[in-house]
């Protein structure tokens, strides 16, 4: 859902009658939502840090393969290629891309 004040730009223009000019103002509605998301993400990460690396890796792999399968209409060849080549950097890049 896009903000009605700023249309997702995180700021909007208001006219300041004291200086007779338009001013760019931060959209506190959107910034507070972003702040809440960051806070929840950090708290959730702290909780997940207590889990075993194997369990986290399994959850992340399941999420990624399921999401990739849907987006690529069943073609998992890129994920298979990364896995077979043991290319950790591309695996992490793929995970990061899907996290966004």
pLDDT tens, residue by residue, 61-77: 999 999 888 888 888 89
State whether 72 and 86 are in the same domain: yes
Do residues 27 and 5 make contact, with C-beta atoms less than 8 angstroms apart?
yes
Is the same domain home to 70 and 37?
no
Residue ranges in the chain modelled with pLDDT below 50: none
Check whether residue 42 and residue 62 sit in a common domain: no
- The range of the structural domain enclosing residue 57 comes to 52-100
Q: How many domains does the chain have?
A: 2
Secondary structure element (H or E) that encloses residue 97, with its range: helix 88-99
| Predicted local confidence at residue 26, as pLDDT | 92
| DSSP 8-state secondary structure symbol assigned to residue 93 | H
């Amino acid at each position: 859902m896009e903000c009605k004040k700023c249309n997702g730009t995180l700021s909007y223009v208001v006219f300041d009658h004291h200086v007779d000019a338009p001013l760019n103002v931060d959209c506190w509605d959107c910034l507070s939502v972003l702040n809440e998301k960051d806070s929840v993400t950090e708290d959730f990460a702290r909780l997940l840090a207590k889990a075993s690396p194997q369990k986290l890796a399994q959850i992340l792999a399941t999420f990624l393969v399921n999401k990739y399968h849907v987006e690529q209409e069943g073609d998992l060849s890129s994920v298979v290629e990364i896995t077979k080549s043991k290319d950790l950097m591309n695996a992490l890049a793929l995970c990061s891309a899907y996290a966004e």
